[in-house]
A and B are shown apart, each in its own frame.
Chain A
Amino acid sequence: MRTRSILCAGLLATACVDQTPVTPTANSVIVLAVIDASVNDQTFIVQTTTGAENQQRDVKGARVTITTPDGRTIPAAEVPDTIPPRFTGDARVINTRYRASFASVGGIALGGTYVLHVVLADGREVHGATTVPVSATTTSPRLPDFDRRHDTLSLAWPPARGAAAYEVFISAQTTFNVFSDTAIVIPGLAENEDGNPAFWPGLTNRIVVNAVDANYYDYYRRTSDIFSGRGLINHLDGAIGVFGSIAPIASYTLVVH
Chain B
Amino acid sequence: MTRYLAIASIVLTAARMAAAQTVRGDSAFTDLHRDGNGIAALTASISTAFADVSAASALRAIAMSSRIDLTFDPSLPGLAKRVLVSSHERTVAAAILEITEPSGLRPRVSTSGAVIIVTAPASAKPTAATSADSSRGPVTLPTVRTDALRSERRSFESQTNVGGVVITGRELRVSPTFVEPDLMRSVQLLPGIEARSDWSAGFNVRGGEGDQSLILVDGYPIYNPYHLGGLFSTFIDATVGSVELRKGALPAKYGGRLSGVLDVQSAEPMSDEKHGSGEVSLVSSSMSVGETFARGAGSWTVAARRTYADAIVELLTPYSFPYHFQDVQGHITREFGNGVRVAATAYDGLDAAAGESSDEVGGNWGNAVVGASIAKRLDEHPRFGRLSLGDSAILEQRLSLTHFGANADITASIFHAHNSLSELRAAGSVASYRGTTTRSLGYELAQQRINYVARSAYQQLGDFIPFDSLRQRSTWAALYADQVWRPIDPLLVDIGVRLETVPTASWAGVSPRLSLKYFLSPSVAITAGAGRYAQWMHSLGREEEPVQPLQFWIASDSHAPVSTASDATIGLERWVTPRRLFHVEAFYKKYENLLIPNIDNDSRKIGDELSALGGYSYGVDVLLRQLDGGPFSGWLAYSYALNSRVGADGVRYFPTQDRRHNVNLVGSWKLGSLTLGARGNLASGMPYTPVIGGFRSTRYDPVLHRWTTATNEELIPGRLNSRRLPWYTRVDVSVNRRGHLFGLEANPYLSIVNVFNAHNPAGYLFSFSGRPDRSSFPNLPFAPTFGVSLAY
In the assembled complex, how far is the CB of residue A13 from the closest CB belonging to chain B, in whole angstroms?
10
CB of A7 within 8 Å of the partner chain? yes
CB of A88 within 8 Å of the partner chain? no
User: A225 — nearest CB in chain B belongs to which residue?
Assistant: B463
User: A212 — nearest CB in chain B belongs to which residue?
Assistant: B702
Residues in A170-189 with C-beta less than 8 Å from chain B: 171, 174-179, 181, 186-187, 189
Determine whether the beta carbon of A189 is less than 8 Å from that of B781.
no
CB of A45 within 8 Å of the partner chain? yes
> Which range holds the interface residue count of chain B?
35 or more
Selecting from B109-117, B217-225, B258-266, B760-768, the interface stretch reads B760-768
Determine whether the beta carbon of B689 is less than 8 Å from that of A229.
yes
Determine whether the beta carbon of B412 is less than 8 Å from that of A190.
yes
CB of B460 within 8 Å of the partner chain? yes
Determine whether the beta carbon of A24 is less than 8 Å from that of B688.
no
B-contact 0/1 string along A3-42, CB 8 Å cutoff: 1100110011011111111111111101010101011000
User: A56 — nearest CB in chain B belongs to which residue?
Assistant: B695
Out of B411, B457, B544, B706, which one reaches A178, CB within 8 Å?
A: B457
CB of B383 within 8 Å of the partner chain? no
Determine whether the beta carbon of B702 is less than 8 Å from that of A11.
no
In the assembled complex, how far is the CB of residue A110 from the closest CB belonging to chain B, in whole angstroms?
15
Determine whether the beta carbon of A17 is less than 8 Å from that of B778.
yes
Chain B residues in 8 Å Cβ range of A7: 460
CB of A1 within 8 Å of the partner chain? yes
Determine whether the beta carbon of A36 is less than 8 Å from that of B360.
no
User: B782 — nearest CB in chain A belongs to which residue?
Assistant: A15
Q: Chain A: how many interface residues by the 8 Å CB criterion?
A: 85
Out of B700, B764, B781, which one reaches A34, CB within 8 Å?
A: B700
Chain B residues in 8 Å Cβ range of A177: 699
Known: A39-B705, A52-B693. A229 touches B411 (CB 8 A): no
Determine whether the beta carbon of A208 is less than 8 Å from that of B703.
yes
Chain B residues in 8 Å Cβ range of A171: 701, 703-704
| Cα(A36)–Cα(B643), bound, Å | 47
CB of B709 within 8 Å of the partner chain? yes
Chain B residues in 8 Å Cβ range of A54: 769-770
Most buried by A among B697, B775, B778: B697
User: B459 — nearest CB in chain A belongs to which residue?
Assistant: A223
Most buried by B among A53, A97, A221: A53
User: B602 — nearest CB in chain A belongs to which residue?
Assistant: A221
Determine whether the beta carbon of B604 is less than 8 Å from that of A165.
yes
CB of B144 within 8 Å of the partner chain? no
Chain A residues in 8 Å Cβ range of B133: none
B-contact 0/1 string along A35-76, CB 8 Å cutoff: 010110001010101111110100000000000000000000
Chain A residues in 8 Å Cβ range of B713: 1, 4, 53
Chain A residues in 8 Å Cβ range of B698: 32, 45
Residues in B679-732 with C-beta less than 8 Å from chain A: 688-689, 691-710, 712-718, 720
CB of A233 within 8 Å of the partner chain? yes
Determine whether the beta carbon of A191 is less than 8 Å from that of B413.
yes
Chain A residues in 8 Å Cβ range of B604: 165, 179, 181
Determine whether the beta carbon of A187 is less than 8 Å from that of B414.
yes
A-contact 0/1 string along B775-792, CB 8 Å cutoff: 111101100000000000
Determine whether the beta carbon of A231 is less than 8 Å from that of B457.
no
Chain A residues in 8 Å Cβ range of B769: 53-54
Most buried by A among B459, B462, B708, B713: B459
Determine whether the beta carbon of A19 is less than 8 Å from that of B703.
no
Determine whether the beta carbon of A83 is less than 8 Å from that of B706.
yes
User: B763 — nearest CB in chain A belongs to which residue?
Assistant: A227
Residues in A223-238 with C-beta less than 8 Å from chain B: 223-233
Determine whether the beta carbon of A240 is less than 8 Å from that of B695.
yes
CB of B418 within 8 Å of the partner chain? no
Determine whether the beta carbon of A17 is less than 8 Å from that of B695.
no
Determine whether the beta carbon of B714 is less than 8 Å from that of A24.
no
Known: A30-B695, A45-B707, A227-B546. A19 touches B702 (CB 8 A): no
CB of A157 within 8 Å of the partner chain? no
Determine whether the beta carbon of A189 is less than 8 Å from that of B412.
yes
Residues in B445-495 with C-beta less than 8 Å from chain A: 457-463
Chain B residues in 8 Å Cβ range of A192: 457
In the assembled complex, how far is the CB of residue A243 from the closest CB belonging to chain B, in whole angstroms?
12
| Cα(A179)–Cα(B467), bound, Å | 13
Determine whether the beta carbon of A24 is less than 8 Å from that of B697.
no
CB of B520 within 8 Å of the partner chain? no
| Cα(A49)–Cα(B769), bound, Å | 12
CB of A102 within 8 Å of the partner chain? no
Q: Which residues of A contact B (CB under 8 A)?
A: 1, 3-4, 7-8, 11-12, 14-28, 30, 32, 34, 36, 38-39, 43, 45, 47, 49-54, 56, 83-84, 86, 97, 165, 167, 169, 171, 174-179, 181, 186-187, 189-194, 206-208, 210, 218, 220-233, 240-241, 246, 248, 251
Show 25 A/B contacts (Cβ-Cβ < 8 Å), sorted by A.
A1-B712, A12-B765, A15-B778, A17-B777, A17-B778, A18-B759, A19-B774, A20-B775, A21-B772, A21-B773, A47-B695, A53-B694, A53-B770, A54-B770, A178-B457, A187-B411, A221-B459, A222-B600, A225-B715, A227-B545, A227-B688, A227-B689, A228-B544, A231-B463, A251-B703
In the A-B complex, list the 8 residue pairs whose CB atoms are closest, starting with the nearest. Answer: A51-B693, A26-B693, A229-B715, A229-B717, A15-B781, A171-B703, A229-B691, A228-B689
Q: Which residues of B contact A (CB under 8 A)?
A: 360, 411-414, 457-463, 544-547, 599-600, 602, 604, 688-689, 691-710, 712-718, 720, 759, 761, 763-766, 768-778, 780-781
Given A227-B763, A229-B689, output 15 extra A-B contacts at Cβ < 8 Å.
A7-B460, A17-B776, A28-B693, A50-B693, A51-B716, A53-B713, A83-B706, A165-B604, A175-B703, A227-B688, A227-B689, A227-B764, A229-B716, A229-B718, A240-B695
